[in-house]
């Protein structure tokens, strides 16, 4: 395995279906009252899409920090306080287990309270609220829509790029949601944003330099969560990330001909275990003033 010292890791993924999705989202935006933006609770800053921010900036927003079960609760709490304001409400959810419908219908009603009251004052019978569900690939948009609608309308899968077209679904008489394909943006200004999206599974491995991603992730874990590495892999810690991956390969027997490290298998397994939180719940970003 080649190690690239200090050079930039080049990550970019903006396929044609995302360009098309962006255009369609722009068209549909005038039909919706607010936007539900899903961000990954492990990376609430890196999973914020600046292109969608720009597109949706006129609309009230409900931010859902998804996969809260994979993040550290104390940091999630800090993120909720950090991101909330008058026009933005924030909820953290384990979409697979929490009472999603109740929590989201309540939050949506609070967010739309003034508008609903205005309609009632003018004698207009309030119609169902409509929201567009947006977010980076694999963050849980379709799973969220299925859970909240209590129907399996949208196709889901643990890989980025599952949803390819926009689709409406009705939650109840008060709420209708529009599922959208996960979109990224044409250029990551900050290298770390691309790396974090890659580590957590928002970018297809086929377009990634996965050995560099794995080395970067190992280096970060050595600095920030060495206890999780010891616990999971039961090997002596080494400061060199390459040597750590090698030690894991020997420990697990990921070898070719019994004597040479099988790098592909080692790296794929390591990344899969991070994504499946086999090293425990880990938040990869903490809030600061640059991350709104």
Ligand X SMILES: Nc1nc2c(ncn2[C@@H]2O[C@H](COP(=O)(O)OP(=O)(O)OP(=O)(O)O)[C@@H](O)[C@H]2O)c(=O)[nH]1
Binding site feature residues: 138-143, 182
Binding segment toward Mg ion, per CB under 5 A, in 33-41, 46-54, 112-120, 133-141: 133-141
Least distance from ligand X to the Cβ atom of residue 70, Å: 5
Choose among ligand X, Mg ion, none what residue 138 binds, the Cβ cut-off being 5 to 8 Å by kind.
Answer: ligand X
Beta bridge partner(s), residue 256: 260
Half-sphere exposure of 272 (CA within 13 A, CB side): 7
Question: Integer distance in angstroms from the first to the last C-alpha of the chain?
Answer: 37
Nearer to ligand X, 43 or 95 (CB): 95
Question: Residues of 41-74 as b/e, b for ≥16 C-beta within 10 angstroms?
Answer: bbbbbbbbbeebeebbeebbbbbbbbbbbbbbee
160 interface partner picked from Mg ion, ligand X, none, CB below 5 to 8 A per type: ligand X
Residue 13 or 188 with smaller CB distance to ligand X: 13
Residues in contact with Mg ion, counted by CB under 5 A, come to a total of: 4
Provide φ and ψ at 173, rounded to 5°.
-65, -15
Closest CA to 188 of 14, 17, 12, 21: 12
Q: In angstroms, what is the minimal distance from the CB of 262 to ligand X?
A: 26
CA angle 137-141-145, nearest 5°? Answer: 160
Asked if residue 105 lies in contact with residue 112, where contact means CB atoms within 8 angstroms, the answer is: no
139 part of the interface to ligand X, by CB under 6 A: yes
Site for Mg ion in 138-177 (CB under 5 A): 141-142, 162-163
CA 31 to chain centre: 25
Binding-site residue positions for GTP: 138-143, 182
Binders of ligand X in range 50-89 (CB under 6 A):
66-67, 69-70
Count of beta carbons in the 10 Å neighbourhood of residue 87: 12
Residue 235 interacting with Mg ion (CB under 5 A): no
- Residue with smaller CB distance to ligand X, 140 or 241: 140
Candidate residues 42, 61, 82, 141; the one interacting with ligand X per rule CB under 6 A: 141
Residue 1: which of 214, 191, 248 has the closest Cα? 214
- 72 contributes a contact to Mg ion by CB under 5 A: no
Q: Is 181 one of the binding residues for ligand X (CB under 6 A)?
A: yes
Which parts of this chain interact with ligand X (CB under 6 A)? 66-67, 69-70, 93-96, 135, 137-143, 156-158, 160-163, 181-182
């Amino acid at each position: 395995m080649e190690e690239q010292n200090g050079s930039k890791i080049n990550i970019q993924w903006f396929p044609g279906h995302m360009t098309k999705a962006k255009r369609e989202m722009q068209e549909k935006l005038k039909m919706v009252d607010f936007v539900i933006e899903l961000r990954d609770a492990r990376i609430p800053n890196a999973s914020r899409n600046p292109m969608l921010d720009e597109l949706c900036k006129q609309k009230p927003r409900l931010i859902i920090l998804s996969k809260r079960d994979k993040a550290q609760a104390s940091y999630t709490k800090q993120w909720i306080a950090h991101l909330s304001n008058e026009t933005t409400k924030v909820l953290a959810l384990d979409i697979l287990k929490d009472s999603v419908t109740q929590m989201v219908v309540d939050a949506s009603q609070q967010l739309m309270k003034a508008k609903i009251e205005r309609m009632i004052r003018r004698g207009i019978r309030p119609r169902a609220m409509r929201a567009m569900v947006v977010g980076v690939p694999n963050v849980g948009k379709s799973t969220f829509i299925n859970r909240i609608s209590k129907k399996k309308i949208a196709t889901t899968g643990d890989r980025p790029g599952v949803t390819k077209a926009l689709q409406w679904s009705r939650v109840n008489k008060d709420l209708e949601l529009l599922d959208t394909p996960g979109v990224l943006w044409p250029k990551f200004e900050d290298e770390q944003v691309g790396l974090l999206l890659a580590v957590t599974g928002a970018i297809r491995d086929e377009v990634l330099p996965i050995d560099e991603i794995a080395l970067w992730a190992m280096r970060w874990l050595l600095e920030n969560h060495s206890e999780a590495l010891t616990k999971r892999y039961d090997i002596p810690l080494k400061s060199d990330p390459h040597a750590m991956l090698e030690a894991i390969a020997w420990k697990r027997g990921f070898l070719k001909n019994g004597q040479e490290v099988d790098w592909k298998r080692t790296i794929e397994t390591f990344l899969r275990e991070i994504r499946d939180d086999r090293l425990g719940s880990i938040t990869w970003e903490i809030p600061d003033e640059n991350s709104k």
